[in-house]
Every structure is written in structure tokens, then in C-alpha cells.
């Protein structure tokens, strides 16, 4: 069930309690079965490097783009080890899509939707709102991003999709995002639970309703879950500061500035925190497939996955991923960088991250234009107990670069309506009822 939540913390809490969604959510968490079968689709190279150690049920496949893939049957509990192995052996993240049934996996491989995602001719992307975007960029706050990273990476031992902590984190994200909206009537949030293999972990979707182009959708997203090589379930030690608390914190900063500025987009803009990315891009795939089934018109998707590590000796500040992406949108990301970040002295480079490396691949596979920026050479302590803010230098300075790019993407692709809104004062819930209190948020400068 997808649960729609009205803007404002008081309305959100009241509707959540009235709908009984808390108990339904808890039931979903309890339903996780570590011995349940799971079907993985990966490139043949990933099979050779990692997957063959975990599965004896492997079938060769080829998708609509001609890529050599394998479909492998496993058990749910093996995915933790598979994700670690892909990271340690292939030295990258992701690497596969995971499905609850073989039929779903076979249908996914047989679909030609990815051809549309890669090759679709899109409306001309233009840079036309320099005055607005340039006014936003100086407002990016390193302390604000840092505080959110710190909270997400320390408030719980992990944000693993099949743990109680991983089910608490998205509720906090939803409440924080709604608090930034401060009761705006054109802003709403949703806990997306229509994922049959996300272990009960919901994704979070915040929507800023567009004005005259509301049926055209712009998406900015990152994944909220974490994983590590230490422990499992509730006992996993997976702070995930860079992967991907940094991406969620960067999204949060883009949203904060949009709300402070009273931004009213012509197109509908959605912020998404995806569940279960680390175990096969499950949350983003469920959303993208749902949008495709509903015929939604998504004109661009930006992925923020790992934004706060600067590799010593790196020759560029950020990378634009050129695979799993629509080439026209990739070029637009480069144009945005050259228009807004290059004048500030920053540099970019191109890179690739391999099959199913992050959530933008889910959107591309569903037929939508998607692309991704990332921090540069990956943080070497990803998927370990040492993916902490301290190991990232104790600050969020690098993430401010991609926050600015996110603002440029939102402003230019979402477009600006003629009139801006002044956010109303925050709703103060009645005293004495802790269920209705505004959540404690990281300090803002």
C-alpha cells in the first residue's frame, strides 16, 4: 500500500496514526524471511568475479541492448555477502538487480524499456534561469549537510533494509523533509511501500506540485539504506556516512533552500529516498516500474549516491557517470556544471560505474531519462564500519559541490513559476502528546 501524507508534521502524524500504517509497516518488517528465494540479474563479468561463489542456479541471458547477463537464484541472506563480495572483488557498488520471483526477473530481462531510457529523444534541455539559480548557490550550507550526515550515520547502528533501524530511518527522513515544507499546501510526502522484496523498508517521496506543467515530473533521489562487512540484521555495524547518508543530506539541503526561497516549479518536482538499494536496487526499481505502469511523464532523474569524499590526488572535483544513463541528460549535467560550477573554479570528469551500479539504472531500465553525478574515485571504506564522517575529514565540504549541482538541476529542469511562495510559520502541535511533536532535526546555521 502507498500511504499519502499531507504537508506539515501535525497532519502527517495524525494521518499516519489514523490510517494504521504504523502497524502495517511493522508487519512488513516482521515478514522478512532470510531463507526466501531471490533472483539476481547481473552482467556476466559480475558472475565471473563474484556471483558464481553464491549460486549454482545460473542461466545466461541477453537484454534488449545486447548485454550478456546472467540470472541466478539465491537465498535472501546471501545478498549481504554478495554485496560485500562485489565491492571487494570488483571494487564497485551495486552490480545487480534483485527480484522476489523468477518470473519478475525474466520479464525484466525481456523488456525493451531500457532502449527508451537510453535512446529516447527528449525535449530540449535549456539553461534559462541563471538569476534564480545563481541566487541559490551561495546559500548551500556545509554545516547543515554535515549535521544531517552525522545524524543519519550515528542515530542508528545501521539503515539496513531488513533491520528495525532501517525501518526507523525513512520515518525520520520523511518528518525532516516535511518540517522544511512548513505546511505548504503544494507539498506532500509519501511512504512508498509497494515493493514486494524491500524487507518492509519504505522509500520516501516528497512532492512539490507543479503549476502549469504538473504532469511533467523531475526526480532527485538517493538511497537511504546502508550495508557493511560487520554483523547482520539489527546487529550490523553500517554507519554509511558517505554511502549514502551524504546523498540524502545533499538532497535535504537542496530541498531546504527550495523551501526557504518559496520555490514554485512549473513541473512537478519529487525528492526520493530509496529503500533497499544495497541489495539489488529494489526500492528505486519498484518506484520506477510503478511510474512506468501508470504512464507517468518523467522528464529527468538525477541520482545522488556518495557525494562527500575527495580522493587525494584526484584530478577533478566530481564525475558525470556516462553509463546506465540517457546521453542527452548526461550532456545536460555537463552543461549545468559548465554554466554554474566551472566559473567557481571546480572541475569535472567522465566515468562509468558498471551495470546496475546505483538507482539511476532502475529509472533507465524502466524507460526514463536518468543520470548521476558522484564524488569522484569512490571512498575506499565503503561498506565497512569505517564509513563515518570522521573518516571523510569531519566535514561536508565536498558534498556542497553536488548540492549546488542539484539546485541547478532542480531550478533549470523544474522551471520557475512567476510567483514565489512565502512559507507559513511552522505548525506547533499540542503539548503533552509526544506522537505529534516535531522531530528533532540537525541544527541549521
Strands 203-208 and 187-192: antiparallel
Residues constituting the chain: 445
Could you tell me where the DSSP H helices lie in 129-163? 130-136, 142-154
Residue 261, helix vs strand vs coil = coil
Query: What are the angstrom distances between the C-alpha of 21 and each of 5, 16, 192, 241, 276?
Result: 11, 6, 11, 29, 20
Burial 401-424 (b: 16+ CB within 10 A, else e): bbbbbbbbbbbbbbbbbeeeeeee
Q: Is residue 223 flagged as an active site residue?
A: yes
Q: Determine the Cα–Cα distance for residues 183 and 187; give it in Å rounded to an integer.
A: 8
Q: Which has the closest alpha carbon to 124: 420, 415, 418, 417? A: 415
Q: What is the DSSP string of 181-196?
A: HTT-TTEEEEEE---T
Candidate list 277, 359, 375, 416, residue with the active-site label: 277
Whether residue 277 lies in the annotated active site = yes
142 is catalytic: no
Diameter over CA atoms, the chain = 61
Per-residue CA distances from 26 to 112, 163, 192 (Å) = 36, 11, 14
Q: Which candidate, 259, 239, 276, 284, places its Cα nearest to that of 149?
A: 239
Cross-strand bridge partners of residue 98: 40
Distance CA 359, CA 356 (A): 8
Active site residue 398: no
- Nearest-5° angle of CA 118, CA 404, CA 360? 25
Which one of the listed residues 85, 165, 223, 398 is annotated catalytic? 223
- Characterize the bridge pairing of strands 37-43 and 96-99: antiparallel
Catalytic option among 243, 244, 261, 374: 243
278 an active-site residue? yes
Catalytic residue among 76, 253, 305, 387: 305
Catalytic residue among 80, 225, 278, 375: 278
Catalytic residues: 223, 243, 277-278, 305, 383
Amino acid at each position: 500500500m502507498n500511504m499519502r501524507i499531507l504537508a506539515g508534521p501535525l497532519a502527517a502524524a495524525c494521518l499516519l496514526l489514523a490510517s494504521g500504517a504504523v502497524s502495517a509497516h511493522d508487519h512488513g518488517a516482521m515478514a522478512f524471511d532470510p531463507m526466501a528465494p531471490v533472483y539476481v540479474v547481473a552482467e556476466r563479468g559480475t558472475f565471473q568475479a563474484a556471483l558464481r561463489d553464491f549460486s549454482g542456479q545460473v542461466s545466461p541471458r541477453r537484454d534488449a541492448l545486447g548485454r550478456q547477463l546472467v540470472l541466478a537464484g539465491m537465498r535472501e541472506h546471501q545478498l549481504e555477502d554478495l554485496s560485500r563480495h562485489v565491492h571487494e572483488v570488483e571494487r564497485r557498488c551495486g552490480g545487480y538487480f534483485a527480484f522476489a520471483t523468477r518470473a519478475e526477473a525474466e520479464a525484466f530481462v525481456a523488456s525493451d524499456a531500457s532502449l527508451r531510457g537510453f535512446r529516447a529523444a527528449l525535449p530540449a534541455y535549456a539553461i534559462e534561469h541563471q538569476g534564480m539559480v545563481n541566487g541559490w548557490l551561495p546559500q548551500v550550507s556545509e554545516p547543515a549537510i554535515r549535521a544531517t550526515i552525522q545524524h543519519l550515520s550515528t542515530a542508528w547502528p545501521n539503515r539496513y533494509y531488513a533491520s528495525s533501524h532501517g525501518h526507523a530511518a525513512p520515518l525520520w527522513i520523511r518528518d525532516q523533509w516535511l518540517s522544511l515544507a512548513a505546511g505548504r499546501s503544494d507539498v506532500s510526502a509519501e511512504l512508498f511501500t509497494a515493493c514486494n522484496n524491500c524487507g518492509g523498508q519504505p522509500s520516501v517521496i516528497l512532492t512539490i506540485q507543479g503549476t502549469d506543467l504538473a504532469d511533467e515530473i523531475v526526480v532527485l533521489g538517493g538511497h537511504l539504506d546502508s550495508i557493511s562487512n560487520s554483523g547482520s540484521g539489527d546487529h550490523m555495524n553500517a554507519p554509511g556516512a558517505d554511502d549514502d547518508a551524504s546523498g540524502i543530506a545533499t538532497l535535504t539541503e537542496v530541498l531546504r533552500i527550495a523551501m526557504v526561497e518559496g520555490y514554485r516549479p512549473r513541473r512537478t518536482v519529487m525528492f526520493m529516498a530509496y529503500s533497499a538499494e544495497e541489495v539489488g536496487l529494489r526500492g528505486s526499481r519498484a518506484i520506477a516500474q510503478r511510474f512506468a505502469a501508470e504512464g507517468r511523464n518523467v522528464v529527468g532523474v538525477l541520482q545522488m549516491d556518495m557525494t562527500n569524499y575527495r580522493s587525494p590526488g584526484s584530478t577533478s572535483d566530481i564525475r558525470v557517470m556516462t553509463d546506465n544513463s540517457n546521453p542527452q541528460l548526461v550532456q545536460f549535467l555537463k552543461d549545468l556544471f559548465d554554466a554554474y560550477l566551472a566559473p567557481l573554479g571546480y572541475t569535472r570528469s567522465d566515468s562509468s560505474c558498471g551495470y546496475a551500479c546505483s538507482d539511476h539504472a532502475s529509472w533507465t531500465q524502466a524507460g526514463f531519462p536518468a543520470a548521476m553525478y558522484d564524488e569522484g574515485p569512490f571512498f575506499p571504506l565503503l561498506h565497512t564500519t569505517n564509513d563515518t564522517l570522521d573518516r571523510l575529514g569531519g566535514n561536508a565540504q565536498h558534498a556542497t559541490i553536488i548540492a549546488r549541482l542539484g539546485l541547478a538541476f532542480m531550478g533549470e529542469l523544474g522551471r520557475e513559476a512567476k510567483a514565489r511562495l512565502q512559507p507559513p510559520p511552522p505548525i506547533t502541535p499540542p503539548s503533552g502528546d509526544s506522537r505529534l511533536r516535531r522531530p528533532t532535526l540537525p541544527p541549521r546555521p
